Amino acid sequence: MPKILSVGTAIPKYSISQDSAVEFAKELFGNSFKDINRLLTVFQNGQIEKRHFVNNIEWFQEAHSFEEKNNLYITEAVSYGVEAIKACLSNTKTLPTVVPYEEIEAIFYISTTGMSTPSVEARIMNILPITPYTKRIPIWGLGCAGGAAGLSRAYEYCKAFPKAKVLILCVELCSLTFQKGDLSKSNLIGTSLFADGIASVLVGGDEVIIEGDCSYPSIQGTQSTLMEDSEDVMGWEIKNDGLFVVFSRDIPEIILNWLSPNVQRFLNVHRIEKSDLNHFVLHPGGKKVLDAYEACLEMEQSKLQTSLNVLKNFGNMSSVTVLYVLKEIMEQEAKKGDIGLAGALGPGFSSELVLLKWE
């Protein structure tokens, strides 16, 4: 089966504490809600301590046009994308030797927080010595599910081409979608959660040989599920000023009622019991989302510790977040024979599940 060989990340340079974000939100939203102090408890209750952004907090105090924000998205996505790819192909914790750029056969570019034509991976190919014959597969609009979906699509590609090495590059600059003039509760919740992040993953087919005594998670199977008539659960409203967040308060309840049977169906197909799972590589969309995972999957809270740590230190980076969790588990926790479930939820409303086995 195709295997995940390496994960590399790039961390935006501005670290902003949650306390600073609370003060910013109080100043911005204070006149819009009579119960602002009660609403601001979402910042503390979310268990996020800090997040990283491509701009300092002063940048958000001014309004910026869609054009300005999107141009900045392109510049920063290319710069940090190059950094993440370099980190992925030279990650000594999982790779015995550096993988040459020329060996990359395809790049899956995942994002939902900015737009670029030509797409960002094409711009990166003009910076790094990647062969011009590399296939480009840009995917837009999957939101928080995008990282797990990228693993699924890379798995399918490498099943078809077992000698292939492919890259997944996820770039989410959520901060650049911030709307200073949007005084809705959805924007307040988004301000408490979302952050910027960049990650790249190297996936190899069955015939890719990596020398050394290493154990890698092979992808055993995937499942994509779309909930009918659920377009309003999460996503963007695209307006003249840019992207406005759609964020339903019912998401934790939806997870409880909808995700569990989907997971059970997936595990049944592969004849796996929940008790067989050693690792949960789950996108930490927020503390309430993690609590819903714990309840619907009937797991011990300790199994979510890596997801919780990523949430605490980086916030919700949309599609990128699950890849930060995967990196931590690959480098520190997993061993040969372990079984893991990777998963993320996104607009649609949708889920993407990936079954992993360390071999």
Encode pLDDT of 22-80 as tens digits.
Answer: 888 777 776 667 667 777 777 777 789 999 999 998 898 888 999 999 999 999 999 99
Query: Which amino acid is it at 123?
Result: R
pLDDT tens digits along 259-292: 888 999 999 999 999 889 999 999 998 888 888 8
Asked if residues 247 and 237 have their Cβ atoms less than 8 Å apart, the reply is: no
Which pair of tokens denotes residue 234? Answer: 């999460």
- Position 113 pLDDT exceeds 90: yes
Sequence-ordered strand ranges (E) for 67-151: 104-111, 135-140
The answer on pLDDT for 9 being more than 90 is: yes
Side-chain half-sphere exposure of 130, counting CA atoms within 13 A: 23
| Number of Cβ within a 10 Å radius of residue 211 | 7
Distance of CA 339 to the CA centre of its chain: 21
Confidence tier at 123 by pLDDT (50, 70, 90): very high
Identity of the residue numbered 84: A
Give the mean model confidence (pLDDT) for residues 306-331.
95
9 and 199 in contact (C-beta within 8 Å)?
yes
Task: Look at residue 31 in the predicted model and tell me its pLDDT.
Answer: 67
CB-based contact 284:308 (threshold 8 Å): yes
pLDDT higher for 16 or 166? 166
d(CA 96, CA 76): 30
Annotate 169-216 with three-state secondary structure: EEEEEHHHHCCCCCCCHHHHHHHHHECEEEEEEEEECCCCCCCCCCCC
State the pLDDT at residue 61: 83
Measure the CA–CA gap between 53 and 174, rounded to whole angstroms: 8
Rounded to an integer, the average pLDDT of 113-127 is: 96
- Closest alpha carbon to 112 in 332, 352, 357, 347: 347
The predicted-structure confidence for 195-216, as pLDDT tens digits, reads as follows 999 999 999 999 998 877 778 9
Q: Does the pLDDT value for residue 140 go beyond 80?
A: yes
**pLDDT band with cut points at 50, 70 and 90 for residue 306:** very high
User: Which helix (H) or strand (E) is 78 found in, with range?
Assistant: helix 66-89
- Cβ burial of 285 (10 Å; 0-12, 13-18, 19+) is buried
Give the mean pLDDT of 133-156.
96
The whole-model pTM stands at: 0.94
H or E segment and range at residue 77: helix 66-89
88 is catalytic: no
The rounded percent of the chain whose pLDDT value lies above 70 is 97
Tokens for 259, please give them: 């995700």
pLDDT digits (tens, 9 = 90+) for 154-207: 999 999 999 999 999 999 999 998 887 777 777 777 888 899 999 999 999 999
User: CA 155 to CA 149: how far, in whole Å?
Assistant: 10
Domains of the chain and any CATH numbers: 3-204 (3.40.47.10), 217-358 (3.40.47.10)
Q: 256 pLDDT exceeds 90?
A: no
Give the span between the Cα atoms of 314 and 321, in whole angstroms.
Answer: 8
Indicate the residue type of 61: Q
What pLDDT sits at residue 63? 86
Query: What's residue 120's pLDDT?
Result: 98
Please, which pLDDT band fits residue 104 given cuts at 50, 70 and 90? Answer: very high
pLDDT of the residue at 282: 94
> Confidence band (pLDDT; 50, 70, 90) for 358?
very high
Q: In angstroms, rounded to a whole number, what is the distance separating the alpha carbons of residues 39 and 325?
A: 29
pLDDT at 75: 98
Helix, strand, coil % over all residues of the chain, rounded to 5: 40, 25, 30
**330 pLDDT more than 80:** yes
- How far apart are the C-alpha atoms of 87 and 24, rounded to whole Å? 33
Q: pLDDT tens-digit profile of 79-92?
A: 999 999 999 999 99
User: How large is the average pLDDT for residues 323-352?
Assistant: 91
Rounded CA gap, 64 and 176, in Å?
Answer: 9
**Predicted pLDDT of residue 35:** 67
Reported as a pLDDT band with limits 50, 70 and 90, residue 243 is confident
pLDDT, mean over the chain: 90
DSSP-based three-state secondary structure for 163: coil
C-alpha neighbours within 13 Å on the C-beta side of residue 254: 19
Q: Which of the following is catalytic: 144, 158, 170, 296?
A: 144
